[in-house]
Amino acid sequence: MKKQIAVLAAVLAACALLALAADIIGKWVAQVPGRQGATQEMTFTFKVEGGKLTGTISSQRGDQQITEGTVSGDTVSFVVVRQGGQGEIKELYKGTISGNEIKFTRTREGGMGGRGGGPVEFVAKRAS
């Protein structure tokens, strides 16, 4: 009996974690600040597979694959790596999920002589 209760508790805990991660699944759209005040529309398509966040970011640059993605409670983080004119650029995204919005901060490593640039903050909204 104790063993059955322990198994049931483990299954319920796993379902609860998946339910929390499920809040992010789908498409999200953001107007992301760019150079000299211009904005760029980006579409984030998130999937959760076995507790791991994957998906793509679509913009005028095309589709970029999301790597190193995690979702824990209301916090999401992932990385996008792309080739820039001055070498590989690693973009690190960290966000807080609140209903149908995700407040993101993006930082960059590499490119521009390794300087990366300062953080950029923006809000993504769930696509209807």
Rounded CA separation 95/98 (Å): 10
Extents of the domains making up the chain: 2-126
Residue 112 — pLDDT band, cuts 50, 70, 90? Answer: low
Q: Which CATH architecture has domain 2-126?
A: Beta Barrel (2.40)
Q: Which residue has the higher pLDDT, 8 or 48?
A: 48
Tell me phi and psi for residue 31, to 5 degrees: -100, 110
Q: What is the CA radius of gyration of the chain?
A: 17
Tell me: the pLDDT tens digits for 12-41? Answer: 444 444 444 558 999 999 999 987 778 999
Neighbours of 68 (CB within 10 A): 15
Q: What pTM, to 2 d.p., does this model score?
A: 0.78
Bridge partners of residue 125, in order along the sequence: 29, 101
Q: What pLDDT does 69 receive?
A: 97
Tell me phi and psi for residue 116, to 5 degrees: 80, -40
The encoded tokens of residue 56 equal 């793509």
Tell me: the pLDDT tens digits for 36-90? Answer: 778 999 999 999 987 799 999 999 889 999 999 999 999 999 999 988 777 888 9
